[in-house]
Amino acid sequence: MTLFMDAHTLEGGVSAADVAAAHQADVETQGKYGVNYLRYWVDEAAGKIFCLVDAPDAETATTVHREAHGLVADEIYAVIEGT
């Protein structure tokens, strides 16, 4: 498994409640793909969302987003967790 950070940008902003609902949909969908969405961060005014996910590969992480709620990331990066 690899750790990924993805980034979404939604024009016009986004609410933390909507992001929480999307994250819950990811959690409900992730099991059948061997993915684990761990955390997310949101900047409501800027419409920025960042998701930390443990997945076999970037495409599988994207598949979960697509199936769960349709909001696929604009960018996704493999990352290494620091201390």
- Looking at the domain assignment, is residue 21 inside a domain? yes
- Looking at the domain assignment, is residue 32 inside a domain? yes
- Looking at the domain assignment, is residue 18 inside a domain? yes
pLDDT digits (tens, 9 = 90+) for 4-28: 999 999 999 999 999 999 999 999 9
Residue 12 sits in which domain range?
A: 2-78
Classify strands 36-43 and 2-9 as parallel, antiparallel or unpaired. unpaired
- Looking at the domain assignment, is residue 83 inside a domain? no
- Looking at the domain assignment, is residue 9 inside a domain? yes
pTM: predicted TM-score of the whole model, two decimal places: 0.92
40-68 burial string, b = 16+ CB within 10 Å, else e? bebeeeeebbebbbbbeebebbbbbbeeb
CATH number at residue 45: 3.30.70.3090
Q: How many domains, in total, are found in the chain? A: 1
Average pLDDT of the chain? 96
